[in-house]
Amino acid sequence: MKRVVILNDLKESDIRPDLGYSRYKELLAENIRRYFLAQDCLLEVACPGCGATTVCRHFLAMGLRYCVCGECGSWYVSPRPSQEKINTFHRESTACKFWRADLVEKTAALRSEEIFSYRVQWIAGLVEEFCPEASVLVDRGSRYPSLLTQLIRQKLFSKIALLFPECFEQEAFLPREADILRDQCPQAYADVFVAFEQIERCFDPGAIIREAAQVCKPGGIFVLTTTTSSGFEYKVLADQSPNLIPFDRLNLLSFEALLGLLNKGGFRVVEASTPGRLDVEMVKKTMEKLPASSGYDLWKYIFNYRSPEALHSLQEFLQQFQLSSHVRIAAVKEQGSYEQSR
């Protein structure tokens, strides 16, 4: 199984400007109270990573309860809103509208250069290695028109289709060449099925894997990115992590749970990497704000007394040994896997 390391640095403020991100979190907390905490509309769920109901501990974030699975180590919000209410929240809440109008627009150029270009290169490499005759790509939950524009410019595919797109106000910027599938999930249609930041934002991560199994042709590639509870940021900071944000992080599946769901869904994992570039910076910045009595002595010592080169090497170590919080996975659909997983 392949692993990838990305060596160039990236700062959190490049993709999440401090003032805008703080305002987004304020709006999100207000919206969660109004949409959900003031109403009796939340549903208890078992662990979305393994189905277990054993919870070894839990904590609150913005009024919602995060459970830590006692079996696979995944973190997940329970009780939680239904998928229909999640969709409405993403479409209509002032927090999500602010994210799209302010943060996405201000960081569009940097995201295109530092994030989307890597994704396009990644997809191109996977197609060349595993599916050289690929002609159709399906992007599930499309959120970034500029990523699609880059894909179209590469001329890797004769057709690009958007399944349940989430661009909302930005739909006018979607490439005209892309087909939009709002109500249907076609069978054996795509050579490549991508789901960027979808696993962590949905009611049931297993449903996305089942969609991928249905839409992919046998031998097709399922490409996903998500955030994992197994990463350095969450293992060190736990509930102090500044990125533990409901609706962006409803599901933080453990690395092992993710691989297990894909295997169960009829996919053979060909790459499982954690090429995150922000873990060390996030932990360092958070600890600088915590009181002296909060513990973390080892990490505080390293951050205070070791060089920037040492911290860069630490981030590289996290990538190399699958310990960053950002995950990217590519998996090939096995013959007959959709029928087996139903």
pLDDT digits (tens, 9 = 90+) for 161-203: 999 999 888 888 788 889 999 877 899 999 999 999 999 999 9
> Which pLDDT score is estimated for 9?
61
Q: Please check whether residue 50 is in contact with residue 260, taking contact to mean a CB–CB distance below 8 angstroms.
A: yes
Given a cut of 60, is residue 337 above it in pLDDT? Answer: no
Q: How far apart are CA 118 and CA 123, in angstroms?
A: 9
Q: How far apart are CA 43 and CA 104, in angstroms?
A: 31
Give the total residue count for the chain: 342
Q: How far apart are CA 263 and CA 341, in angstroms?
A: 10
Structure tokens given for 42? 């939340």
CB neighbour class for 38 (10 Å; exposed up to 12, middle 13-18, buried from 19): exposed
Q: Does domain 12-341 have CATH number 3.40.50.150?
A: yes
pTM here is: 0.91
When pLDDT is averaged across residues 80-94 and rounded to a whole number, the result is: 94
* Band of residue 13 on the pLDDT scale cut at 50, 70, 90: low
Strand partners, 193: 138, 222
Q: How far apart are CA 13 and CA 264, in angstroms?
A: 38
When pLDDT is averaged across residues 251-267 and rounded to a whole number, the result is: 98
Structure tokens given for 316? 């590289």
Q: How far apart are CA 236 and CA 299, in angstroms?
A: 9
* Band of residue 298 on the pLDDT scale cut at 50, 70, 90: very high
